[in-house]
Amino acid sequence: MEITYHGHSILSIVMKDGQKLLVDPFITGNSLTDLKADEVTTDWILVTHGHSDHIGDTVPIAKRNDATVISIVEVCSFAEKNGVEKTHGMNIGGKYDFPFGRVKMVHAQHSSGYEVDGQMVYMGEPAGFIIQAEGKTIYHAGDTSNFGDMALFGDAFDIDVAFLPIGDNFTMGPHEAASAAKRLKAKQVVPIHYNTFPVIKQDPEAFVRLLPESVGKVLAVGETLEL
Ligand code: NI
Ligand code: MN
């Protein structure tokens, strides 16, 4: 599979059979991304939580592509109320075998709400995804603090690549993410969720230097990792 980083927490994944996944497509209002909300193509959209910088352009992209939204049930319900026809609701600790591979939804320590007409709508619990496909395992942590149960993920899964937020302020920062990486025992760790806004400005190369040799990998916006 080919995994491309598109700034903030956005990943696109193209499987060998051509199936396309998009994770957390926050495009409108994201000055770092190389994607265009009205041009991106996908079959599946995975949303870690309901914050606007993660659900982003999910609704219009799903409608235009007839894509299926995979997220916690409350986010799926929100998408359906906004006209998305295909959703697959999950909840923390559950896994499901999709045509492209297996997705396990795991917890994240964060919050999740979305403002509609001045009212904060409950969007369920925040989550991360452990995706297993083509014999590889990817962990997208979503927005989270550093938490001890990541050791359980590291024991239960042989993680090839972990995408961890390093921005601080809204999530863990570089030092906590380096600690998380140790417990996850991921072969590669890619920093995400930084430099999009002034309060999450970080040096990703400094984060990589906190990790063991050759574990950390900074992906530039638009850069692809082949697994
Ligand atoms: Ni968030
Ligand atoms: Mn966020």
> How many structural domains is the chain composed of?
1
Domain of 134: which CATH number?
3.60.15.10
Q: Compute, in angstroms, the gap from residue 55 CA to the centroid of ligand 2.
A: 10
Q: How far is the CA of 16 from the centre of ligand 1 (A)?
A: 31
Can you give the C-alpha Rg of the chain in angstroms? 16
Residue identified by tokens 């190389």 is: 34
State the residue range of the domain holding 44: 2-220
**Model confidence band, residue 169 (pLDDT cutoffs 50, 70, 90):** very high
Contact 11, 24 (CB under 8 A): yes
Q: Which tokens in the block code for residue 86?
A: 């295909």
Residues in the chain: 227
pLDDT score recorded for residue 140: 99
Ligand nearest, relative to CA of residue 196:
2
Q: Is residue 140 part of a domain?
A: yes
Using the mean position of ligand 2's atoms as its centre, give its distance from the Cα of residue 45 in Å.
16
Q: Is residue 225 part of a domain?
A: no
Confirm whether 124 is domain-assigned: yes
pLDDT at residue 73, as a whole number: 98
Ligand nearest to the CA of 111: 1
Q: Which ligand is nearest to the CA of 192?
A: 2
What is the CA(17)–ligand 2 centre distance, in A?
31
Asked if 5 and 11 touch (Cβ cutoff 8 Å), the reply is yes
C-alpha 120 – ligand 2 centre gap (Å) = 16
- Tell me which residue has tokens 């992906």: 219
Q: What pLDDT was estimated at residue 53? A: 98
Q: Please, are residues 67 and 41 in contact by the beta-carbon 8 Å criterion?
A: no
Q: Please give the distance, rounded to the nearest whole angstrom, from the Cα atom of residue 126 to the centre of ligand 1.
A: 8
Q: What is the 3-state secondary structure (H, E, C) of 100-156?
A: CEEEEEEECCCCCEEEECCEEEECCCCEEEEEEECCEEEEECCCCCCCCCHHHHHHH
| Domain-located, residue 215 | yes
What is the pTM for the complete model shown? 0.98
Element (H, E) at 72: strand 68-72
Mean pLDDT score, 196-219: 98
Q: Which two tokens stand for residue 150?
A: 């990541």
